[in-house]
Amino acid sequence: MLVLNATFEPINVCSVRRAVVLLLKAKAEMLEHGEYHLHSGSSTVPRPMVIRLVSYVRVPRDTHRRKITRRAVFARDDWTCQYCGSRGNLTVDHVIPRSKGGGSTWDNIVASCAPCNRRKGDSLPNQAGMVPKSTPRTPGPNVFIQVASPTIPRAWQQYLAF
């Protein structure tokens, strides 16, 4: 289920069960629901698709910063090699190589195709003449929503500005 902040900004994806609990506790309101219903005890509720939290939640930046995964890097970089623009054979590249002190952080990792990754090797970007197309940075929540739910339901689309 897509969870929006009180400001309608997408925050994350949660399970149906969690969404129903938030709705029953009146901590969230239903914005979009599916066609079929869920039965819990004596009550019947439509299956939530998009919910919005009633009160504003401050989203800690750290929760996103920690989760560097290949999928999240690819999603942020639009599944495109940041050196040549190829969309095939993707891997991740340390812009400043680890051997030269580059860290495994959002601002130092980019999507790269395997040939570019090999060509760049252990060189610095200016030595190799290979500079990422866009400056890598920590992605916003949309990227993590995309990673958590590879198929974005139609009901979500109007709330996500990709």
Closest to Zn ion by CB, 73 or 145: 73
The whole-angstrom separation of Cα 125 and Cα 140 is 25
Contact pattern from residue 108 through residue 137 relative to Zn ion, giving x for each residue in contact according to CB under 5 A and a dash for the rest: -----x--x---------------------
Minimum distance of Zn ion from residue 118's CB (angstroms): 10
DSSP-derived pairing of the beta strands 43-53 and 2-4: parallel
d(CA 75, CA 42): 42
End-to-end Cα distance, the chain: 17
Q: Is 83 in the site for Zn ion (CB under 5 A)?
A: yes
Nearer residue to Zn ion within complex by CB, 47 or 133: 133
What DSSP element (H or E) covers 37? strand 28-40
| Least distance CB 81 / Zn ion (angstroms) | 3
Residue 134 Cβ vs Zn ion, minimum distance, rounded to whole Å? 14
* 86, 91, 105, 142: which one binds Zn ion (CB under 5 A): 86
Q: Which amino acid is at 155?
A: A
Q: Residues 6 or more apart from 14 whose CB is under 8 A from it?
A: 1, 3, 22
CB of residue 120 to Zn ion, shortest distance in Å: 9
Where along the sequence are the contacts to Zn ion (CB under 5 A)? Answer: 81, 83-84, 86, 113, 116
